[in-house]
Amino acid sequence: MLEDYPKKVKLKDGIFVTLRPMTRDDEHGVYLFFNSLSEATRQFLRNDVVDRKILTGWMRELNYEKTLPIIAEYEGRIVANATLHRKTFGWGRHVGEVRIVIHSDFQGRGLGGILSDEICHIAAAGGLKKLVARIITARVDAIKAFESSGFEPIAVLRNYVKDINQNYADIAIMVKELASPRTEGS
């Protein structure tokens, strides 16, 4: 599955970025990436990604079986991060969660769709049957990008999350079926 990396992909505007799994050696580059994001982009991320302790913890606990981050690089710098999160036990072990963060300079160039497709391919190859994405409803562009990748909105949770300024926001739950669900008796 990871033997396909690194790989070069072409964006809508003709430039190429390199996709590859994040490694522990990427800590400084990941730190620079998250610190280069605008506050508007970081506003609804789940973690305080500019906190060096959080990033160090991520790197120390890097385990591709649970969390597989794929980064996109352009001219030696990280410009996007797509992550597949999976549970390794319990009733949700067939479901993965996808999270994608793209630097504003690379938004609107097709990179989100490419990263979504990469994560879907990895998830299906790893035996997952569904992917879920949780997106702030105000991020209409992100919702449209996930819809273009085959995700369907299934619910909206009102006032469910708080942004970095402690303001509540609605979150859309989007799901993509990776394989036909097995029916009873088949």
User: Residue 180's pLDDT is what?
Assistant: 46
Show Cβ contacts of residue 115 under 8 Å, excluding neighbours closer than 6 positions: 19, 70, 72, 80, 82, 100, 102
> Mean pLDDT, consecutive 10-residue segments, the chain of 186 residues?
90 97 93 88 75 84 92 97 89 92 93 93 93 92 91 96 85 88 46
Domain ranges (residues) in the chain: 2-177
Q: Are 16 and 56 in contact (CB under 8 A)?
A: no
User: Residue 110's pLDDT is what?
Assistant: 93
Residue 134 pairs in a beta bridge with 173
Rg for the chain, CA atoms, rounded: 16
- In CATH terms, the superfamily for domain 2-177 is Gcn5-related N-acetyltransferase (GNAT) (3.40.630.30)
Q: Describe the crossing of helices 111-125 and 140-148 by its angle, rounded to 10 degrees.
A: 50
